Amino acid sequence: MSGEHVAAIHAPMCRMARADQLSDGEQSVLILHPHWKTLLRPSLVLIVVVAVALTLVVVIPAGRVAEPARIAVGVVALIAVLLGFVVPFLRWQTTSYQLTTRRLSLRSGILTRSGRDFPLIRISDVSFSHGPIDRLLGCGRLTVESAGEHGQLVLNEIPEVEKVQAALFQLVEDEQQRLARDERQGRP
C-alpha cells in the first residue's frame, strides 16, 4: 500500500501488534478500538451511581444503623460501578481491529481472548453506513462481505469509518495485484 493511503488514516490507535504476530512480508497498517461513543452509557451509569450513593450516604440519619447502612450503600455502589462501568470499559479496551497488508483481524475478551482473521483475498465487498449522530461523532458501521463460510461481517462503532473502508478496499486491491504478480512470476 502506498504511503499516501496510510497517511490519510488518523483513527484512534491502540498499541501496535508484535512482529511475531505477523507473517513474512505482512505489515500492520491500522489498529483501533471501537469508537469512544460506546463508553457514553457506562459513563452515565458511573455518574448516576456516584451521585445516588453520595446522596444516600449524606441523608442516612445518625444512629446505630448509620454505619452499616453507609457500608451497604458503598458496597452496592461499588458493585454497580464494576458492572455498569468497569466491565464495559475493559470490554472496549480489550476489543481491537487490526488491518494489515494481508488480513483483517478481530480480537476481544477480558479474561479469555477470542479472535478472527479474514484474509484480504477472500473479501469481496466493503461498505459503510452511518446516521446523523454517527456522522457528527465520526464513527459508523463497517460491513465486510467475505467469500466462503463466514459470509458477512458487521463491525459497529468504527472510528473514521469512511477512511477505514477506503483503506481496506485499497488493501484488498493491492493484495489481489500482489497475488496476480506472484502467480505470473511463478511464486507460490
- Mean pLDDT for all residues in the chain: 86
Q: Please report, for the chain, the start and end positions of each structural domain, with discontinuous segments joined by +.
A: 39-90, 104-188
The backbone torsions φ and ψ at residue 10, rounded to the nearest 5 degrees and listed phi first, read -125, 40
Please write the tens of the pLDDT for every residue from 35-75. 999 999 999 999 999 999 999 999 988 888 889 999 999 99
**CA dihedral angle for residue 100, residue 105, residue 107, residue 113, rounded to 10 degrees:** -110
Q: Do residues 86 and 45 touch, judged by C-beta distance below 8 A?
A: no
Q: Which three cell numbers stand for residue 140?
A: 459508523
Q: Show the cell assigned to 125.
A: 465487498
pLDDT of residue 149: 65
Among 149, 185, 174, CA closest to 27 = 174
> Strands, DSSP E only, in the chain?
28-32, 96-100, 103-108, 114-119, 123-129, 139-146, 152-159
For residue 46, give the C-alpha cell. Answer: 458511573
Q: Could you read off the pLDDT of 70-103 as tens digits, one per residue?
A: 999 999 999 999 999 999 999 999 999 999 999 9
CATH architecture type of domain 104-188: Roll (2.30)
Q: What is the DSSP letter of 18?
A: P
pLDDT digits (tens, 9 = 90+) for 114-157: 998 889 998 989 999 999 999 999 999 999 998 776 678 899 99
Half-sphere exposure of 67 (CA within 13 A, CB side): 1
Output the pLDDT for position 14.
43
What's the rounded Cα separation, in Å, for the pair 90 and 127?
A: 28
Place of cell 478500538: 33
